[in-house]
A and B are shown apart, each in its own frame.
Chain A
Amino acid sequence: MKTQPYFDDIRLGEEIPLQVREPLSTRSLVKWAAAVRDFYEVHYDKDFARSIGLRDVIAHGPNKCALLGRLMTEWIGEAGRLHRLSCTHKASNFPGETLVCRGRVKDKYSKDGRHYVECEVWVENQDGVVAAPGAATVSLPSRG
């Protein structure tokens, strides 16, 4: 099992010691489409995607957001909680690319008995091109 991170050990500016890497394929896009029942053709029909000027089908934005959710929940462990997660979709991603989810600690504070950590998070591709920058708020257990 992974080590549970504690609020006390979090350092401002540190990168989250975990990355989520997911290769994109038409199959992975269809799995997402089926899981959330989003059947917009731009995500699995290449002819349709080309008819609106794209070179191929594209990954769903909410799929990238959900992968950022996976990054944060994997990192914070079962004693942590994810409170807020947002991201903005800046670039399309296509089958053959790999989505890489990363994060960095921006702030930490205690309030009403909870120990919060604010993070900058983002999805980039295998070449480091940022597709979905965002933010996440989690709380962690404290040793104190």
Chain B
Amino acid sequence: MSGALISARMRAAVGSPLASGQPFAVEKGSIRDLAEAINHLHPLYVDEAYAQSTGHGSVLAPPTYPSYNLALGAPLEALTFEFPVGSILHGSDDWEFLGDIHAGDMLTPQGKLLDLYEKQGKRGGMLFIVSEITYTNQRGEVVAIYRPTEVVIALPTA
């Protein structure tokens, strides 16, 4: 179903893959940077000996670590808007955590355009773009699925 903001061409793009970046190595330094950014220097995240003593092969990454490589712009670049764009907001985050992520892992992100819907807001039409990024490790295990929503506010047309 198309609406005022969603053209048939945009609708047809739902389900298609999105540029989601190259495979990336999980590094101790970037785990520590994230742990510091949320002020949570848990020994599992920053102390290799502690992590190993509790059955982890290496330090553990905090749950939302894959956002280290997030490509929030990808769905915006993949769509051609046929209305004047006012502003773009990050609308929501939705994570499924399916497996541990450790330093030394290699994660491959795979994105797709999951859904499009629109609402009429106080400031005009709002287009909601839901994407899905699946993170798979070097053993082929899906360790996290991230579904962010970006909101595109349309400028009122005269």
Contacts and interface: CB of A to CB of B under 8 A. Distances in A.
Contacts of B68: 35-37
B96 interface: yes
A60 B70 CA distance: 13
B87 interface: yes
A89 B70 contact: no
Contact of A89 (B30, B40, B72, B91): B91
Contacts of B69: 37
A63 B96 contact: no
A85 interface: yes
**Interface size range on B against A:** 20 to 34
B90 interface: yes
Given A32-B37, A35-B37, A89 B97 contact: no
A61 B38 contact: no
Interface stretch (A11-19, A66-74, A111-119): A66-74
Interface string A19-39: 000100000100110111110
Interface residues of A, number: 32
Interface-central residue, B42, B95, B97, by most chain A CB under 10 Å: B95
B157 interface: no
Given A73-B63, A83-B96, A88-B91, A34 B33 contact: yes
B54 interface: yes
A89 B90 contact: yes
B97 A82 contact: yes
Given A78-B54, A84-B96, A66 B36 contact: no
Contacts of B89: 89
Interface of B: 30, 33-34, 36-40, 42, 44, 54, 62-64, 67-70, 72, 87, 89-97, 148
